Structure 1
Amino acid sequence: MYTMTKEEIKAYLNRIGIPEVQPPTLSYLVELHKANVKHLSWQTLDIFARKPAAIGFQESVQLILHGRSGYCFHLNGAFSALLHSLGYKVSLHHAGVQPLGAEPRINSFHLGLTVNLLNEQQEDEVWIVDVGLGDMPYEPLPLLMGTYEQTPLRYKVMESEVITNGWRLEHDPLASFVGVDFAPTVVQDLEEFRPKHHFYSRSVESPWFNLFLIRQRQALEANELRGCIWKKRGLNGLEKIELDKKSQWLEVLADVFGEPLVNYSHQERDELWKRVLAAHMEWKKIFD
């Protein structure tokens, strides 16, 4: 796994609002996880814009350092490099997300992470770490079977039914997918994930190829911008807001999702907005 330089670590921590390096403890891991999901949105906009980024550890770290984000391979890849560089024992796993209407599977279309830590009794504990899911857990989850409340969403950790000794993260019924299954075997590199990324980012059969989607989690709120529809799920339920003006859409992208499109020219932003608005208008024709 890629080991970041001291300068890269400092820049990454600055990007997610963490003031200083601390020893690799559970409390610091929780702080890092929350800051990562708060400041770095999960997004398909680069795929939608036909500007997909590479998923190597170093490339994903540089993506973060240059004001960008990505989807699971980028976000979990960069975060695993950060944790490794801070002294955590982090492991990579093959995983598979179960969309609504599909069966559970482990197909390496998701990069899973775990962290091993010693507790106060010097016993080894395993934590599920995932900053690369669309409406992600806000904090790490112990790899112990049970239900975990992270308002406004609830998660369940259970045994996987698709692989021996694997585990499953069951998502909140109100969330965007059913769950994700993880294989127990530790993966040493990203090679098996590269063809999956190529399909996701370049194939017309990819679910993300023609879908503008960006998601972000905060302590008590989950946000999603799908095309021109901004969904906010919080303590008071779900609120939907239609963004049909370019200035408003760009403002929400930057202020809510932390995505100011720093590597997009004015012309590229205009073209991106036109495609999003055109798709939105077609969608309205169907449902009006």
Structure 2
Amino acid sequence: MYIMSKDEIKAYLVRIGIAEIKAPSKAYLFELHKAHIQTLSWQTIDIFARKPASIDYSQSIALVLGGRSGYCFHLNGAFSILLRSLGYKVSLHRAGVQPLGAEPRINSFHLGLTVRLLNEQLEEETWIIDAGLGDMPFEPLPLQYGEYTQAPFVYKVTASGIAEGGWRLEHDPKASFTGVDFDPKAVADLEEFKPKHDFYSRAPESPWFDLFLIRNRSAAEGAEIRGCVLKKYDQNGVHKTELHTKSLWLEALADHFGEKLLNYSSAEKDELWSRVQAAHEDWKRSTAGAVSNA
């Protein structure tokens, strides 16, 4: 299993805004998880740009250290190695995201993580870790059935109805998907997920192939840019802003998500904006037509 060098660990921690290496503990796990989610956005940018990075651990870590990010396989893959390199007991799990209106599934299109820790009574506890979906819990959740509020969302941990011994994380009704089911059996490496990444990142049928989407969340709010629309949500509701110009779009990417497209040339940024703007105008025309025909 890939283990990071001390210099890599320090650089990774600096990237997510943590000053020092500490012994593995519950408090430090929470600190790492919150920093990772707040700093590293979930995004489809490289897929949309037709330059997807592999999900090998070394490549995912290089993305993070290079000031970039990725989607679930990159984010949870890199985070699993950071945690393991810091001394945590980490397991990888097959998982499946249930989109709105679809049935629950475990199809390995999501990489799930758990961490096992000893509590004060020296009993082992299991924690659900997920830095890879953009609006998942800000803090780790115990693998104990119940309801957990982490503003602006409420999450439920329940038994999975499709995997014996598995668990399900039900998302808030106002979130971007219905829930995630997890296989309890740990997998040894990323081989199970590589064909799924190939589909997600290269197949025209992939939901991410022609969608520019970036998400993150903080302790009390979340945000996303879908095409040319910035959406922020908090306890007071959803707030949308249309980004009319490339400068506003690039500014929003940097200010709200820390995404400066560091490995993109000026010409590539222009091409990205041109495609995003064209898709946005097509969407506006289609929705206007739908309203006029209602």
TM-score, reference length from structure 1: 0.99
Shift of 1:134: 2.7
Match of 1:265 in 2: 265
SS in 1 for 2:121: coil
Aligned-residue RMSD, C-alpha: 0.5
For 1:39 and 1:254, how far apart are their aligned partners in 2? Answer: 11
Match of 1:211 in 2: 211
Equivalent runs, 1:1-288 vs 2, <5 Å: 1-288=1-288
For 2:148 and 2:136, how far apart are their aligned partners in 1? Answer: 13
SS in 1 for 2:187: coil
Shift of 1:244: 1.2
Deviation per CA, 1:173-221, whole angstroms, max 9, x where unpaired? Answer: 0000000000010100000100000000000000000000000011111
For 1:137, the aligned partner's letter is: P
Deviation per CA, 1:28-80, whole angstroms, max 9, x where unpaired? Answer: 00000000000000000100000100001111111100001000000000000
For 2:143 and 2:198, how far apart are their aligned partners in 1? Answer: 30
For 1:221 and 1:90, how far apart are their aligned partners in 2? Answer: 28
For 2:69, the aligned partner's letter is: S
Conserved 8 A contact 2:37-2:134: no
Conserved 8 A contact 2:114-2:129: yes
SS in 1 for 2:185: coil
Deviation per CA, 1:204-247, whole angstroms, max 9, x where unpaired? Answer: 00000000000001111100100011110012111011001100
SS in 2 for 1:128: strand
Deviation per CA, 1:72-107, whole angstroms, max 9, x where unpaired? Answer: 000000000000000000000000000011100000
Conserved 8 A contact 2:221-2:235: yes
SS in 2 for 1:47: helix
Deviation per CA, 1:242-280, whole angstroms, max 9, x where unpaired? Answer: 001100000010111111000000000000000000000
For 1:198 and 1:134, how far apart are their aligned partners in 2? Answer: 21
SS in 1 for 2:174: coil
TM-score, reference length from structure 2: 0.97
SS in 1 for 2:184: coil
For 1:246 and 1:235, how far apart are their aligned partners in 2? Answer: 30
What's the % identity of the aligned pairs? Answer: 68
Instruction: Report the number of matched residues.
Output: 288
